[in-house]
């Protein structure tokens, strides 16, 4: 960073010195001709558009990865609940109940927290109980390997989902682009004629609106779990409904170790 700042400072100093001392000798006399604001604003406009396009692609990719991770996690949880049928009868109800509670904790606790770029400890209560139940299943059970593999995929999906809750475009880059946009608009305004300029002024307004809208869309898309363009827990909610139906087919609702929000019923916060 220091080298970059130093090189930029030396380049600016050399450019100003060349304009002040070298240009009169090369051009002959104190000429007033040279690059104007219009000539300088062109490259700035191009730079602004290129960076905005890059940021939009990056933010859109993050949004897509968040949706894929959420679906992968839900699919792995659904598979884990199905594999629980092969577990010993004594643990079958426990694993099915944990699957229901995990889905509820993700939908009602962790998803709202991710809108602010944070996570929740609520789903971890049930993922820990998954592992505790696996120990009781034992490595000798045919279902052990399938359960561990399904839980591993669930864990990877959750980690990927939570990673995408953090914006991929740093705040410093966003503010830099905001300043860059302001300088570009001001520069374009300086280039417009002062008379008969209704058409150019209208075009300037349109360009300003489009650039601003692009920057706002980037900021919104870069936050997949909060804003207007948001990734919803649709698939996880579907898995929760399916798991509840499967659980109630063999047990009563009182057998679930959690409430409707995925909170543990027993004192102490554990399942």
CA pair distance 255, 264, nearest whole angstrom: 12
Pick the closest to residue 48 from 215, 219, 223 (CA basis).
215
CA pair distance 62, 227, nearest whole angstrom: 14
Three-class SS of 58-107: HHHHHHHHHHHHHHHHHHHHHHHHHHHHHCCHHHHHHHHHHHHHHHHHHH
pLDDT of residue 156: 94
pLDDT of residue 4: 58
Pick the closest to residue 260 from 103, 88, 65, 121 (CA basis).
103
CA pair distance 219, 30, nearest whole angstrom: 48
Answer whether 96's CB lies under 8 Å from 243's CB. Answer: yes
What's the pTM? 0.77
Regions of the chain short of the pLDDT cut 50: 34-35, 267-270
Torsion of CA 183, 189, 192, 194, to 10 degrees: -140
Q: Where are the beta strands (DSSP E) in the chain?
A: none
Cβ–Cβ contacts within 10 Å for residue 102, how many? 32
pLDDT of residue 22: 58
Q: Is the dihedral of CA 95, 251, 75, 71 positive or negative?
A: negative
């Amino acid at each position: 960073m220091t080298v970059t700042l130093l090189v930029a400072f030396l380049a600016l100093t050399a450019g100003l010195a060349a304009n002040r001392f070298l240009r009169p000798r090369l051009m002959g006399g104190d000429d007033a001709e040279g690059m104007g604001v219009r000539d300088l604003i062109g490259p700035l406009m191009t730079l602004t558009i290129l960076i905005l396009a890059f940021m939009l692609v990056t933010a859109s990719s993050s949004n897509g990865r968040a949706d894929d991770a959420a679906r992968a996690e839900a699919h792995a949880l659904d598979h884990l609940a199905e594999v629980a049928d092969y577990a010993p009868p004594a643990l079958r109800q426990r694993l099915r109940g944990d699957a229901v509670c995990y889905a509820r904790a993700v939908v009602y606790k962790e998803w709202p927290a991710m809108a602010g770029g944070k996570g929740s400890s609520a789903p971890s209560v049930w993922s820990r109980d998954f592992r505790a139940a696996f120990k009781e299943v034992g490595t000798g059970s045919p279902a052990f390997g399938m359960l561990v593999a399904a839980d591993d995929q669930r864990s990877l999906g959750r980690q990927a989902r939570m990673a995408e809750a953090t914006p991929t475009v740093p705040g410093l880059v966003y503010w830099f682009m905001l300043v860059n946009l302001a300088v570009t608009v001001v520069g374009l305004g300086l280039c417009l004629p002062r008379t008969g300029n209704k058409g150019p002024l209208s075009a300037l307004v349109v360009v300003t609106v489009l650039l601003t809208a692009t920057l706002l869309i980037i900021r919104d898309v870069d936050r997949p779990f909060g804003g207007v363009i948001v990734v919803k827990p649709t698939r996880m909610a579907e898995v929760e409904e399916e798991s509840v139906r499967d659980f109630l087919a063999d047990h009563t609702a009182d057998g679930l170790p959690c409430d409707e929000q995925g909170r543990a019923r027993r004192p102490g916060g554990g399942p």
